Amino acid sequence: MSRIGKLPIQIPSGVTITVADDAITVAGAKGQLVVPHLSDVTVAVEEGNITVTRKDDERIAKAQHGLQRALLNNAVDGVTKGFEKKLEINGVGFRLSGGGQEIEMSLGFSHPVKYKAPEGIQLTTNKMEITVSGIDKQLVGQVAADIRSLKKPEPYKGKGIKYADEVILRKAGKAGK
């Protein structure tokens, strides 16, 4: 039995779950998310809990058991609390401006770099920090990874865009004579 898959998910007040054959809709105070209903598991909503059970003990059913539960838990967390990732910009001459759906960055290139967030993602800037927030955990992580890929931190001085909790391993550089 999957250790994650067998755990029930508590449904907070104000969250409604609709189970269909191909999709599960989770609606809450912050918005609505649609989670795909995987083929080898069944989802039951009863007494304020969501339980996920697999149909048989095949390999694919075992894999989908924990996955379906994790996707549903992330959707419930997203529509109640939301998700956010913080990015930091380090480097001499690097600049950051904008907010909302679009930000503009000066990252040492010959041109300013503009990034437009997809629908459902909010970008907030504070000095040299970017906060990516939204209700879809996968989309928040993907947007943060896309922004980081514009100028990855380099190992000698640490210049670039990094996650707030990321540790950059530094290299020594050239040894003098």
Q: How many CB atoms lie within 10 A of CB 159?
A: 20
pTM of the model: 0.90
Mean predicted lDDT score pLDDT of the chain: 93
How confident is the model over 15-48, as pLDDT tens digits?
A: 999 999 999 999 999 999 999 999 999 999 988 9
Q: Matching CATH topology for 9-80 and 83-163?
A: yes
- Written in H, E and C, the secondary structure of 37-97 is CCCCEEEEEECCEEEEEECCCCHHHHHHHHHHHHHHHHHHHHHHCCEEEEEEEECCCCEEE
Q: According to the model, what pLDDT value does residue 2 have? A: 74
What mean pLDDT do residues 109-119 have?
94
Q: According to the model, what pLDDT value does residue 146 have? A: 96
What mean pLDDT do residues 54-61 have?
92
Q: According to the model, what pLDDT value does residue 1 have? A: 64
Break the chain into its structural domains and give their ranges: 9-80, 83-163
CB–CB of 140/83 below 8 Å?
yes
> Under CATH, domain 9-80 is a member of which superfamily?
Ribosomal protein L6 (3.90.930.12)
How confident is the model over 121-137, as pLDDT tens digits?
A: 999 999 999 999 999 99
In degrees and rounded to multiples of 5, residue 15 shows phi and psi of: -110, 130
CATH dotted code for 83-163 = 3.90.930.12
> Is pLDDT at 163 greater than 90 in this prediction?
yes
Q: Which residue has the tokens 């990321």?
A: 166
**177 vs 52: which has the higher pLDDT:** 52
